[in-house]
Amino acid sequence: MRSVPETLTTDFLIIGSGIAGLRAAIELSSAGRVLLLTKERLNESNTEWAQGGIAVALSDEDEVSLHYADTLRAGDGLCSPEAVKVLVEEGVPYITELIDWGTAFDRDGVQLSFSREAAHSRSRVLHAQGDSTGREIIRVLLKKALASQNVVLKPHCFSLDLIVEDGIVWGASFLDEQEKCVRRVLARSTLLASGGAGQVYSETTNPDLATGDGLAMAHRAGALLADMEFFQFHPTALFLQGAPRFLLTEAIRGEGGYLRNIDCERFMPQYHEMGDLAPRDVVSRAIVAEMKKTSSNFAYLDLTHLDANLIKKRFPKVYSTCLSYNIDITVDMIPTHPAAHYLMGGVKTDLHGRTSLRNLYAAGEVACTGVHGANRLASNSLLEGLVYGARAGQAAASDAHGSLPASLESKTAGLSDNSGGMNRLKETKKSIQRLMWQKVGILRDGRELKEALRHLMHLGSHFKGPSANRPECELINLITVAELMIVSAMAREESRGAHYRADHPCRNDQKLQKHSVISTATHVDFVDLNRPKAARETPAAQ
């Protein structure tokens, strides 16, 4: 590892190249120089993996008010109404803009084709190439961002920590994996768009890069995080030995697919009036219950009663992936199992992406706007990244003023490669992932949460950082995120949405219809829903 060769400067720093980061970069391109760092190739992010689509009330049979109501209902009493209102209203012009920029959503003739997913009262989910929606959106946003001379996109740069002085963020240090050195970039505004943390679990639909880096960086810098106990488990992921937990999009059930237990019996109508299209938290728990009842470790997703040509056309990626594992989904039922999918909580922001630290903004899965509440409505995540990525970019541009402090120029990153050995790192990571899946997963209780926290602290005791070794940094970040999740889950003594406590099986609206806010690793507050979800409540924004 070489020593720090230089300090870069820019007006705006963005960390992450998914839908939120790219949309923010486009918004900021007219306000100054933009540097976007991403840890892998430019088009690799959770967005690229998004199959199902993007929800928006654009069809003749739909209304914004219905999308609003569906989102609130899915969020199980914990959505922030103002944030949802922004999402569903501004989603319409932002999606129209995407289409104008060349996004090729699927059509029936000249009309946009809308599918229906769980907990939606209307067919309002746009998709592209059947089940490759995220990839198509990233293609268009990347092209748009790269067309601007003010935007520089730098791949293979792993962000290490935020640069903070007197509670103000002035950029970040990062590992340049192409140059094999640690660098610093100073910026008047920094925007986190680094995605989620699915790798905290052993069973996840998320790619390997989803290690919660932005969440951990923000926490170490002193930013507030909210609703960290709410992690959504997607009900249907491919469950085969040796195969990755490939997401089986909810749109499959929207097109008429059925869930069956190991005895081939349909079971969802017993658990919810919406049957196979019930909210994700309900479906995930139902599958777990059926697996326990039938002494099985999977359930089936059945498409065999649907038209084979429709399946191949509508779900080409799912069809080809399953076929590579000798499953023809037109004639074979798919073995499936829930998997960790999406973090509803994150860095606490206001409606414009401002966090509790000055000059720091967040958008996308790393942020908690309050849109998703306790249980995200299907296909609202891409819409949130689009809308709030743009809004965060607008806020960063309007807030930017003054110059960088001269005192920062002479400081260095001062990190060393102090890895404890790759085998040890890998084994510790696997142990943490198993621990989180077994004790902080779909079903929880207070005793096991306490055990999980004790075990996590023991596993993480040898990895404290700082380090310039990426695998070690990712492990430290996962440990940090896991701790925040466990502590938040322990504090919420009720069951709501994706957070189910067997020792507190009912909702407690009187005491806990509030957002959890965590400021240190051990202190959780609960904030009333009718209070502003803004960084303005904190000293940094006064």
Residues with a catalytic annotation lie at: 280
251 contacts 51 by C-beta, under 8 angstroms = yes
Select from 242, 248, 355, 338 the least CA-distant residue to 297.
338
Q: Which residues contact 71 (CB under 8 A, 6 or more apart)?
A: 79, 84, 87, 88, 371, 377, 380
3-state secondary structure of 18: coil
Q: Which residues contact 225 (CB under 8 A, 6 or more apart)?
A: 215, 218, 219, 345, 346, 347, 348, 368, 484, 517, 518
336 contacts 239 by C-beta, under 8 angstroms = yes
Q: Which phi and psi (to 5°) does residue 269 adopt?
A: -60, -20
46 contacts 206 by C-beta, under 8 angstroms = yes
Count Cβ atoms below 10 Å from residue 173 Cβ, excluding itself.
23
- Rounded Cα–Cα distance for residues 89 and 513 (Å): 25
Q: Where are the alpha helices (DSSP H) in 1-45?
A: 19-28
Q: Reduce the secondary structure of 442-460 to three states and give it as a string.
A: CCECHHHHHHHHHHHHHHH
Structure token pair of residue 35: 């540097």
Structure token pair of residue 103: 């996004």
DSSP states of 108-174 as a string? ETTEEPEE--TT-SS--EE-STTT-HHHHHHHHHHHHHHT-TTEEEE-SEEEEEEEEETTEEEEEEE
- Helix, strand, coil distribution of the chain in percent, nearest 5: 35, 20, 40
**Through-space distance between the first and last CA atoms of the chain, rounded to whole angstroms:** 41
Q: Where are the alpha helices (DSSP H) in 366-469?
A: 381-399, 422-439, 446-460
| Bond before 466 cis per omega within 30 degrees | yes
Select from 507, 536, 73, 84 the least CA-distant residue to 348.
536
- Helix (H) or strand (E) run with residue 412 in it: none
412 contacts 160 by C-beta, under 8 angstroms = no
